[in-house]
Amino acid sequence: MRSLEPQQTLDGSGTYRNPELGELYHTKSGAVTESIEKYSKPLKVWLKESPVILDICFGLGYNSAAAIDLIRSNNNNSRIRIYCFENDTRILEKALDASPGFESYSLIQRFVKNFLEKKEAKFVDQNVELVMLFGDAREQIRNVKGEADFAFLDPFSPGKQPELWEKELMQDIYNALSEQGSLATYSFARKVRDNLESAGFKVLPGPVIGRRSPSTLAFKYKKTL
Ligand SMILES: C[S@@+](CC[C@H](N)C(=O)[O-])C[C@H]1O[C@@H](n2cnc3c(N)ncnc32)[C@H](O)[C@@H]1O
């Protein structure tokens, strides 16, 4: 396996380039900005009491950290549970050295360290429960049954990783979400929206951050902007 190459993004935060796919783990316009603005913020994760989140394609864990920070900074001190889906230990190892500036990042790092060094998949501290579902997200998703409130879907691009944007995974995410569940993803590709809709989601455009097209929000219930 080749090593990941560090890359600075335009908001000053760091990410990596995956050498096999030739793609960054975040948008070059800003890794931390992307994780806050495209996932937790548009889904308003802090409004839910005891939120359960699916962080699909966890990587450096920025999306989870942004969620914890936003929930806590909005005075929501309830229990947070995050199921983290990842299949590559190389990027988890990089999380141990990253310093993206999230308040909660040391929690993420202790969780990842325990997973890598002691094979402990579950970590609980400060009323936050983090669960590593290591392996192919398309299989691991079936271990979560209708209990999640939010899903962050953050694979490499549909062009490089089409298998993670297929209807089948969208359907399994739909089933893993509760009746009031919602999803955010950075891609606004037609095929992505079509697959989300055929899985049963109602799809809306998300914010425009660092690129010309919006991201995508998907809801199990009817919602208008
Ligand atoms: C675009 S990056 C996401 C970055 C991440 N959200 C972060 O904050 O760093 C995609 C991630 O998905 C992981 N991945 C790729 N295929 C996967 C699969 N089949 N199952 C689970 N994770 C996968 C990659 O290893 C990578 O970490």
Distance 164 CA to ligand 1 centre (A): 10
pTM of the model: 0.97
| Range list of β-strands (E), 2-127 | 5-8, 14-18, 23-24, 52-56, 80-86, 122-125
Distance 85 CA to ligand 1 centre (A): 8
Name which residue sits closest to atom 25 of ligand 1, judged by CA: 88
- 200: how many CB neighbours lie within 10 A of its CB? 13
Q: Is 14 in the pocket of ligand 1 (CB under 6 A)?
A: no
At 138-191, the pLDDT tens digits run 999 999 988 999 999 999 999 999 999 999 999 999 999 999 999 999 999 999
Beta bridge partners of 52: 81
Would you say the C-alpha torsion 171, 24, 140, 46 has a positive or negative sign? negative
**What domains can be seen in the chain, in order of their start residue?**
31-219 (3.40.50.150)
At 9-52, the pLDDT tens digits run 999 999 999 999 999 999 999 999 999 999 999 999 999 999 99
